[in-house]
């Protein structure tokens, strides 16, 4: 006995094989979850979308929509794959768009107005040139610093004559030089301007105008005079609404152009293809990330998608007999003997056709009739045997019946020369 302490056996804990196989996938899943959580925590909140009919922020239109519905109007929005106005639309609101109007869409909108529609057009912006050219009104290039707004024409009896300048956050005005029939309604002016000065400067400081187009009418409003939640609450822009609704019958249909405003993605870019969805939406990015992680995992595991490739030297061509045996076994297991019966049917008719010079592709009854008139003629017993064999092969015979009929065919062809 020595004085050394006994060495204790060290036991290593070994996990089951199935748990060890799941180690790498679980680690990758945990890494993906960690990255997604980090992305969610570091992503800033989305910016509010202006002119959203369902938004309650200052730049939204929820207040206007609820007000119109409370007045008894039916509020709809366009948002299909194409820009199409409802047939029963009475009044259309068009706000500064993310998707610009095409020439055909602008022409279609003008035709709708000429046929009696009423349009409330905010803007349009310089990018939407087709819409500006269609009605001849566009935004002025220079900003205005006038400190009050005055009603130029008595077209808004429900409104006041003077409004403070703060009613219009941006000092943007309308250019009516290419629209001679447009009548200024509201214009910017200084507090000390008299009536004569107001009329003199009205053409260059207009923020609201009305334009007759055919049987319809267009209300042109500068950005800032747009009936948003903030403007309705803080700057009394609701006094404009009765004038805008004059051309919409009670209980009519009021439509907002959401197609050009939001497109398909509601963030200003139209998502028309799968590639757009993958590259320009968070869900598409997540899909690409998951696919990349899955590819890396399969690469690290040494796995491939699909069957393994085999070298040409390792292949061996199948013999014809193997194919015949394989197909025969499949038919036997399926209890399907139609092809075999058809083979013996053709074998009998072909053998008799060569011996008696008749056509083998004739129907059975005609074949038997032609066979009876050949020379040398067959006996009645031989003709009866031929008829019995053809009938037996056509009645979906069993495997044993096919064997018996095939033996009878061999005997019959041997006796008929």
How far is it, in rounded angstroms, from Cα 60 to Cα 68?
15
Given a cut of 80, is residue 5 above it in pLDDT?
Answer: no
Task: Kindly provide the residue ranges of all beta strands, DSSP E only, lying in 28-181, ordered along the sequence.
Answer: 74-78, 89-94, 118-122, 138-139, 148-151, 162-164, 174-175
Rounded percentage of the chain residues whose pLDDT exceeds 90 = 15
Domain residue limits, the chain: 62-262, 271-304, 320-415
How far is it, in rounded angstroms, from Cα 397 to Cα 391?
10
Q: How confident is the model at residue 106 (pLDDT cuts 50, 70, 90)?
A: very high
- What is the per-residue pLDDT across 255-281, written as a single tens digit (0 to 9) for each? 999 888 765 434 434 455 666 666 667
User: Which is higher by pLDDT, 294 or 228?
Assistant: 228
Output the average pLDDT for the chain: 77
In sequence order, the 6+-apart residues with CB closer than 8 A to the CB of 21 are none
CA distances from 340 to 243, 335, 369, 390 (A): 88, 11, 25, 13
- Is the separation of the CB atoms in 262 and 49 below 8 Å? yes
Query: Strands 148-151 and 162-164, how do they pair?
Result: antiparallel
Does the domain at residues 62-262 carry the CATH identifier 3.40.50?
A: yes
Residue 196 has which token pair? Answer: 């004569």
Q: What are 63-71's contacts with CB under 8 Å, separation 24+?
A: 63/228, 63/229, 63/232, 63/233, 64/227, 64/228, 64/229, 64/232, 64/241, 65/256, 67/232, 67/238, 67/241, 68/254, 71/245
User: Which is higher by pLDDT, 411 or 171?
Assistant: 411
Burial of residue 296, with CB atoms counted within 10 A of its CB: 0-12 exposed, 13-18 middle, 19 or more buried: exposed
Residue 26 has which token pair? Answer: 């679980």
Query: Strands 138-139 and 148-151, how do they pair?
Result: unpaired
For the chain, the distance separating the N- and C-terminal CA atoms, rounded to the nearest angstrom, is 108
Q: Which of 105-119, 126-140, 154-168, 287-301 has the lowest mean pLDDT?
A: 154-168
């Amino acid at each position: 006995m020595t004085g050394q302490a006994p060495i204790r056996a060290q036991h290593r804990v070994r996990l089951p094989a199935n748990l060890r196989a799941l180690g790498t996938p679980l680690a990758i899943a945990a890494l993906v979850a960690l990255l997604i959580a980090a992305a969610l925590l570091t992503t800033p909140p989305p910016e509010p979308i202006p002119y959203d009919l369902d938004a309650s922020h200052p730049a939204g239109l929820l207040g206007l929509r609820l007000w119109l519905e409370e007045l008894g109007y039916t509020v709809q929005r366009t948002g299909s794959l194409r820009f199409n106005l409802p047939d029963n639309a009475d009044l259309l609101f068009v706000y500064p768009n993310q998707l610009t109007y095409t020439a055909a869409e602008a022409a279609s909108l003008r035709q709708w107005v000429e046929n009696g529609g009423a349009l409330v057009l905010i803007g349009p912006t310089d990018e939407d040139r087709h819409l500006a050219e269609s009605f001849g009104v566009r935004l002025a290039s220079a900003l205005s610093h006038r400190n009050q707004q005055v009603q130029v024409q008595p077209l808004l009896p429900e409104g006041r004559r003077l409004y403070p300048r703060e009613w219009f956050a941006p000092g943007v005005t309308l250019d009516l030089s290419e629209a001679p029939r447009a009548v200024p309604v509201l214009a910017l002016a200084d507090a000390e301007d008299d009536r004569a000065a107001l009329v003199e400067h009205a053409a260059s400081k207009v923020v609201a105008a009305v334009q007759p187009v055919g049987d319809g009418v267009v209300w042109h409003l500068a950005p800032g005079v747009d009936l948003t939640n903030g403007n309705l609450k803080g700057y009394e822009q609701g006094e404009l609404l009765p004038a805008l609704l004059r051309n919409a019958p009670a209980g009519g249909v009021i439509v907002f152009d959401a197609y050009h405003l939001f497109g398909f993605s509601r963030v200003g870019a139209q998502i028309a293809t799968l590639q757009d969805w993958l590259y320009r939406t968070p869900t598409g990015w997540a899909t690409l990330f998951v696919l990349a992680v899955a590819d890396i995992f399969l690469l690290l595991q040494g796995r491939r998608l699909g069957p393994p490739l085999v070298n040409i030297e390792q292949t061996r061509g199948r013999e014809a007999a193997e194919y015949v045996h394989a197909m025969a076994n499949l038919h036997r297991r399926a209890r399907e003997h139609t092809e075999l019966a058809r083979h013996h049917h053709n074998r009998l008719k072909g053998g008799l056709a060569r011996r008696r010079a008749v056509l083998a592709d004739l129907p059975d009854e005609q074949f038997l009739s032609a066979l009876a008139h050949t020379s040398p003629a067959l006996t009645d017993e031989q003709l009866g045997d031929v008829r019995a064999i053809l009938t037996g092969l056509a009645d979906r015979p069993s495997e044993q019946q096919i064997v018996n009929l095939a033996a009878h065919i061999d005997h019959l062809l041997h006796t008929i020369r």
